[in-house]
């Protein structure tokens, strides 16, 4: 099988990468490009730790061939912050103690960001549903749900810092 060049936008900048067929986006991002917030969990799409946004939609990078993101916009956790300023979702996770070991956090934050971009006022049930594909084994879900609610309030101008 012949390697080929794939071009896409990664965290706001255009990249061209040479990949073998069926190389996963997870492998490329983490091992080849150094985006270590993309975690290696189950490698089967069951834990959510590798979640990235592709054109604003959460996708499990462990299941996604790099060729499938050609011409698309990919955002990792590293791409959410603006310089030294955290994204409101990142800030809310920190302030609400929604991060313990940190392994699930990148995926949880990416899914939460996508949720809030599509639904500015999610109910608790909608937050729980959005997070249902991401597994957390140590923080527990209550601080995470609170963090998403806090971020929603702030992003809508209803919460204070």
Q: pLDDT (tens digit, 9 = 90+) per residue, 121-155?
A: 999 999 999 999 999 988 889 999 999 999 999 99
For the cut 70, the answer to whether the pLDDT of residue 161 exceeds it is no
For the cut 80, the answer to whether the pLDDT of residue 94 exceeds it is yes
Give CA angle at 45 (41, 49), nearest 5°.
40
pLDDT of residue 127: 98
When pLDDT is averaged across residues 84-88 and rounded to a whole number, the result is: 94
Q: Which of 71-80, 111-120, 135-144 has the lowest mean pLDDT?
A: 135-144
pLDDT of residue 159: 61
pTM to 2 decimal places: 0.93
Structural domains present in the chain: 4-79 (3.10.20.30), 88-155 (1.10.150.120)
Backbone phi, psi, residue 21, to 5°? -55, 140
Q: pLDDT (tens digit, 9 = 90+) per residue, 54-69?
A: 999 999 999 999 999 9
For the cut 60, the answer to whether the pLDDT of residue 160 exceeds it is no
Q: pLDDT (tens digit, 9 = 90+) per residue, 17-54?
A: 999 999 999 999 999 999 999 999 988 999 999 999 99
Give CA angle at 19 (13, 25), nearest 5°.
60
């Amino acid at each position: 099988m012949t390697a080929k060049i794939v071009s896409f936008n990664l965290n706001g900048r255009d990249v061209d990468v040479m990949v073998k067929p069926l190389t996963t986006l997870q492998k490329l991002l983490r091992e080849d490009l150094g985006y270590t917030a993309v975690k290696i969990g189950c490698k089967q799409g069951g834990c959510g730790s590798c979640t990235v946004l592709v054109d604003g939609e959460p996708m499990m990078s462990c299941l996604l061939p790099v060729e499938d993101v050609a011409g698309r916009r990919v955002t990792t956790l590293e791409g959410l912050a603006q310089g030294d300023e955290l994204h409101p979702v990142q800030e809310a996770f920190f302030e609400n103690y929604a991060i313990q070991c940190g392994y699930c956090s990148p995926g949880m934050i990416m899914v939460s960001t996508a949720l809030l971009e599509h639904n500015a006022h999610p109910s608790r049930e909608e937050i729980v549903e959005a997070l249902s594909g991401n597994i957390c084994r140590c923080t527990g879900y209550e601080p995470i749900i609170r963090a998403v609610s806090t971020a929603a309030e702030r992003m809508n101008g209803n919460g204070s810092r």
